[in-house]
Amino acid sequence: MSYASSFYFTMPEIILAVAGLALLMVAAFAGKSSARLVTILAVAALFGAGIFTTHLLIDPAYSLGGDAFSGVYRMDAFGGFTKLLVYLATIGCLIVTPRFFGPSGEYRPEYPVLMLFGAVGMGMMVSAVDLMTLYIGLELSSLASYVLASFARNDDRSAEAGLKYFVLGALASGILLYGMSLVYGFTGATDYLSIRAAMDGGLSGGLLFGIVFVLAGLAFKIAAVPFHMWTPDVYEGAPTPVTAFFATAPKVAAVAILMRIALDPFGPEIGSWRQIVIFAALASIVVGALGAIGQENLKRLLAYSSINNIGFILIGLAAGTQEGAGAMLVYLTFYVAMTLGSFVAVLMLRDRDGNQVEKLSDIAGLSRSHGALALCLAAMMFSLAGIPPLMGFWGKFVVFQAAVNADLILLAALGIAASVIGAFYYLKVIKVMYFDAPAEVVEGKSDMAHWSVLALTTLFVSPLGFLLTLWLGDWADRAAAALFFAA
């Protein structure tokens, strides 16, 4: 593969990296007053990267994809699909951010620049076919996330969230790196193709430990049980737009690299890691559901909801089939829309002084004072609970169907039973908004940016979203097929 082709395949990352460096210079010379302009240009750069990624995804000339830079990076439908989700989630988070920091005056142009560099790292992650490329992309994304978590310097909760995320993230990175070193030591390679070939000859005890450590490190990144302990505290303490970002874009990238590394280099030994994934899936569903029941803070409740949804996504991975991978991508798409919409709705909850409202009790009777906002939030809660005909139900359906077709009938049955627990706290939010006496706390008005993002996500998860399932299912199937074709 020539360098020209390699640069062409990596053009989305190049666009974002060059834009990030240029906007960093703008921020340095123009100062704090350039924050809004830098945000607009960052959104434009993400749109540009998304358009180029779409071109690579739909152009028949690149239907089979291709490797770049001597086989450490792969451009294929799987990477393109997940990159689009990452870029769209990042754009949505950037659009709703300025209003949040407006009253405090803490919004600075470094914020969108950090988002861009994080997107560069996530793009590298999902297209990595070498352990070294994976780790570089993961750390680039993580370092930006640590700073974003503590971005509100005048808020002690934000500083605490950033510190917790940094310490536990460093621990997870160490676990992941140790697992990679074991894999390299027992296979003699870091590229996925050579690792897969080495596993065809059998699995040694040391290599099994390496697989376990790699999966444990990635489980932290997706907040799967038992590596979920950081999630509620970081989600609550970080600024709400940052929390929305953590729950969407990095989660998509982390799930994508888990899928690629589990089904590509570790694919021949699915019997060795399937039990780990099944345990993490069921534990995440149960812990996420039970942990959310007693939460009074909406951001902590949504943190446990994120853990719960990761459990359902992992059921598709446990299937270990192309159908399971496609179902994971479909669920992941709806998850991004539901989670982003939920956090945008929380961002729109403000008191008369413009302060953020986060307590569940504060939205009592919201339907009587802010009917449209309550309706959109209710749609998100119903969809997250998997109530038909909303798209959250369809996401769960395709995942359970993939598990049943892979003869994991008991796993599917347990997942369906456990999803009933999760419905309790989603319905509790709706009950508080529609049937409790009005708290009359939410009085602030939201701007057009918030309403635009919330309306789009609500329409996507509504029954109208079924009109999108034809092309979405086709793209997800193509992405999953590319993953198995590479393997």
- Find the mean pLDDT for residues 145-168: 85
Q: Residue 486 has what pLDDT? A: 54
Q: Does position 469 have pLDDT exceeding 80, yes or no?
A: no
Query: Phi and psi (nearest 5°) for 373?
Result: -65, -45
Contacts of 313 (CB under 8 A, 6+ apart): 255, 328, 331, 332, 335, 399
Average pLDDT in the chain = 87
233-290: per-residue pLDDT in tens?
A: 888 888 889 999 999 999 999 999 999 998 888 878 888 888 889 999 999 999 988 8
Nearest to 141 by CA among 177, 163, 169: 169
E-assigned strands of 401-455? Answer: none
Among 28-37, 82-91, 390-399, 461-470, the range with the most confident prediction by mean pLDDT is 82-91
What is the rounded CA–CA span in Å between residue 105 and residue 394? 42
User: What single-letter DSSP state applies at residue 437?
Assistant: P
Percent of the chain clearing pLDDT 70 (strictly above) = 97
pTM above 0.85, yes or no: yes
When pLDDT is averaged across residues 300-309 and rounded to a whole number, the result is 91
One DSSP character per residue, 90-112 reads HHHHHHTHHHHHTTTT---THHH
* Helix (H) / strand (E) containing 74: strand 73-75
Q: Which amino acid is at 205?
A: G
18 has pLDDT over 60: yes
The CA distance from 5 to 66, in Å, is: 9
Q: Does position 441 have pLDDT exceeding 90, yes or no? A: no
What pLDDT sits at residue 46? 95
308 pLDDT more than 70: yes
The mean per-residue pLDDT over the stretch 53-69 comes to 80
d(CA 166, CA 24): 23
Query: β-strand 66-68 against 73-75: which pairing, if any?
Result: antiparallel
CA angle 57, 59, 64 (to 5 degrees): 70
Residue bearing the bigger pLDDT, 106 or 363: 363
Q: C-alpha distances in angstroms, 46 versus 51, 93, 451?
A: 9, 12, 21
Which of 404-408, 457-461, 469-473 bottoms out in mean pLDDT, i.e. has the lowest? 469-473
Residue 67 β-bridge partners: 74
pLDDT tier at 154, thresholds 50, 70, 90 = confident
pLDDT at residue 250, rounded to an integer: 92
Residue 103 binned pLDDT confidence (cut-offs 50, 70, 90): low
Contact partners, residue 24, CB within 8 Å, separation at least 6? 110, 113
Whether 102 has a pLDDT exceeding 80, the answer reads no
Q: How far apart are CA 215 and CA 96, in angstroms?
A: 34
Q: How confident is the model at residue 355 (pLDDT cuts 50, 70, 90)?
A: confident
Distance CA 413, CA 464 (A): 28
| pLDDT given for residue 252 in this prediction | 93
Report the pLDDT averaged over residues 308-314: 93
Q: Encoding tokens for residue 483?
A: 């993953």
Q: How confident is the model at residue 152 (pLDDT cuts 50, 70, 90)?
A: confident
Residue 69 to residue 88: CA distance in whole angstroms: 27
Contact between 86 and 253 under an 8 Å Cβ cutoff? The reply is: yes
